[in-house]
Amino acid sequence: MLLHRLIMAWWHAVIAVLLPNIGGVLGAYFTRNSIPKWYNKQLRKPNWRPPNWTFGPVWTFLYCTMGYASYRVWTELGYPSLLGSPFHLPYPLNAFLLQLVMNWLWTPMFFGMKNITLALVEMVMLDAVVVLTMLRFFEVDSVAGLLFVPYVIWLSLATCLTISIWRANPKWRYGDPSKGH
């Protein structure tokens, strides 16, 4: 029985770590053509921006740590059912799911729709929800809260980068200018 519980706990942790990465993999669909054709060639960007190659590894690390943080909170809260309505989940897990969906939506807004304004507004809201999630996680499990610190730092950098790109590219603020935006 103990071995079964350990195996199940391990599988739950693995699933929690992998789940956030789904959005990263799906986001690659929007970025694969937009980076070389739009982001690299048509947008003005600040010289302090991280190199393109850093984003994949950093986001993979952050998705894994936020997933593990959610697992720690989930177990600390007594394994609430994830199969029912999300409105019946404890508040920290609802906040986690909300920030995760918002995180996943940013990439199609920025790279898919090329709407820098919409992506920026969404990112500022995401920043607030991520900080709220971190604080709620910290109340439940201090390690889970601390696991969100690198995410908050990177998201702050990403927000500053998005603001800088928004300011430097007025014709792209509302999407592709050739489509009458």
DSSP string, 60-113: HHHHHHHHHHHHHHHHHTT---SSS-GGGS-HHHHHHHHHHHHHHHHHIIIIIS
Predicted pLDDT at 33 = 87
Predicted pLDDT at 29 = 81
Predicted pLDDT at 7 = 79
Average pLDDT for runs of 10 along the chain of length 181: 77 92 87 90 96 95 97 91 73 96 96 96 98 98 98 98 98 88 56
Structural domains of the chain, ranges and CATH numbers in brackets = 57-181 (1.20.1260.100)
CA angle, residues 160, 141, 126, in degrees to nearest 5: 25
Distance in angstroms (rounded) separating the CA atoms of residues 119 and 27 = 14
Predicted pLDDT at 8 = 80
- 119, burial (CB in 10 Å: exposed 0-12, middle 13-18, buried 19+): buried
Predicted pLDDT at 24 = 87
User: Of 157, 142, 58, which Cα lies nearest the Cα of 92?
Assistant: 142
